[in-house]
Amino acid sequence: MKKIIQSDVVFTNIGDPISNGGIEFDANGKILAVYNQEQLLQKKIDKKYKGFLVPGFVNSHCHLELSFAVARIEKNKGINNFIERVEFLKKSTPEKAKIEMIGKALEILKEEGIVAVGDICNTELTANPKKFSSIKFRNFIEVYGINSDLANKKIDEAKKLKVKFENCSIVPHSTYSLSSELFKNIENQLNNNDIISIHNQESAAENEYFQKGSGEMFDRFKNWNLEIPKFIPSKENPLQTISKIIEIKDNSCLFVHNTFSEAADFDFINQTYPSAYICICPSSNLFIENTLPKVEMIYQKAMTICIGTDSLASTDNLSLFNEMMILIKAFPNIPFTEILKWATINGGKALGFAEDIGSFEVGKTPGINLIEDVDVENIRLTDYSFVRVIK
Ligand SMILES: [Zn+2]
């Protein structure tokens, strides 16, 4: 059945927001028309809402399989403590409990108005639950291992895992956790249309490890008896170093976190990777390192920003709306319309789903969310704003 709904403002993500605009959609949520106030005078409106109508949200970076770790790791203890705790919990949590929490996380994502997720996979635990979800998934089969003699074993395991998922590519975990042999193995099996995701500059220790071959990260690897790659120290930052080892500039790339990236790092990304997305995970960054990336700088450099929640190990919930609220409060000079694009259409582009989601355009099925308790006059959210799924 077709429906026409109207709200105080409709954010289509193409063109200006429409005051008292409306959208028409079918039973599947496919957009049939977008109307301005005048056009709506000739139409029978099924429902008029107070608030902002916005397209469904895109969570560009998540680790659904870590959902079991919710509320089990202490905040603000740094990346080293975080990684050690996650590894401990991974080993000590039964598989049944892990699968149960993945199911719950999928329900939360739906309730939060999220229509697509970029999800990191180290195991096949999420493969089956995803088949029964209406959410679109871009799956990243993540590989790590800095001991060079494991490079072939690691890529073989990733290839076996890849066949269990749809819409997926094999990607490096981070700049620091692979040997040059393993980076090469990933490059050798890449297709140009594979999307890459890589954790970048999540801690200050990562920069020090590359620049000087010292610091907390270096010490951790030494303590674990890992083989420090020959390219360490490189006297350069992480991406400058690995760009000489793995060739991914023909691929769409999500650089995730960038919490300790500076202007030179962003300029390097701009110059080196033509299809780069800067994926920020505000609540996770606050949880682990108690800091945020230089978001205003990234915005001023006109980079394409998208937003992720990261896993429930490092955030209390998987709400993209919550991430938007953190950004709106921390960076009041950035317009809401811009942050909304990061949470919707930019994520859709980053994950390769923009043909169908991210904006209210005829023919798309983007999901429809309503943000209530808003400041209509100034087109802003308030401390009391909340989101409700309409379709
Ligand atoms: Zn992550």
Q: What are 278-294's pLDDT values in tens digits?
A: 999 999 999 888 899 99
pLDDT the model gives residue 316: 83
**Ligand 1 midpoint to CA 62 (Å):** 6
CA of 199 to the centre of ligand 1 (A): 6
Helix axes 180-188, 151-162, angle to 10 degrees: 40
Cα(309) to centroid(ligand 1), Å: 8
Provide the residue count of the chain.
391
How high is the mean pLDDT of the chain?
95
What is the CA(355)–ligand 1 centre distance, in A?
25
CA of 47 to the centre of ligand 1 (A): 40
Residue 313 alpha carbon to ligand 1 centre in Å: 10
- Ligand 1 centroid vs 357 CA: distance in angstroms? 23
23 CA distance to ligand 1 middle (Å): 35
Superfamily of domain covering 1-55+358-391: Urease, subunit C, domain 1 (2.30.40.10)
The answer to whether residues 218 and 146 touch, using CB atoms and an 8 Å cutoff, is no
CA-to-CA dists, residue 54 to 17, 193, 262, angstroms: 10, 29, 32
User: What pLDDT, in 10s, does the model give residues 225-237?
Assistant: 999 999 999 999 9
Separation of CA 34 and ligand 1 centre (Å): 36
The phi and psi torsions of 322 (rounded to 5 degrees) equal -60, -40
- What whole-number distance in Å separates Cα of residue 339 and Cα of residue 93? 37
Question: CA nearest 324: which of 66, 75, 57, 136?
Answer: 57
Nearest in space to 51 (alpha carbons), one of 81, 10, 86: 10
Span 318-364, pLDDT tens digits: 999 999 999 999 999 999 999 999 999 999 999 999 999 999 999 99
187/170 Cα distance (integer angstroms): 9
CB 198 within 8 A of CB 175: yes
User: Domain locations in the chain?
Assistant: 1-55+358-391, 57-356
How many A from CA of 61 to the centre of ligand 1? 6
Distance CA 197, CA 207 (A): 19
Ligand 1 center–CA 191 separation, angstroms: 23
User: Mean pLDDT in each 10-residue stretch from start to end of the chain (391 residues)?
Assistant: 97 96 98 98 96 98 91 75 81 91 95 98 96 97 96 98 97 97 97 96 95 95 94 97 96 97 97 97 90 96 96 86 96 96 98 98 98 96 96 96
Q: What is the reported pLDDT for 312?
A: 84
At the topology level, CATH places domain 57-356 in TIM Barrel (3.20.20)
Nearest CA among 357, 161, 171 for reference residue 255: 171
Provide the CB-side half-sphere exposure for 45 (13 A, CA): 19
Q: How far apart are CA 166 and CA 104, in angstroms?
A: 21
**Could you list which residues have their CB under 5 Å from ion ligand 1?**
310
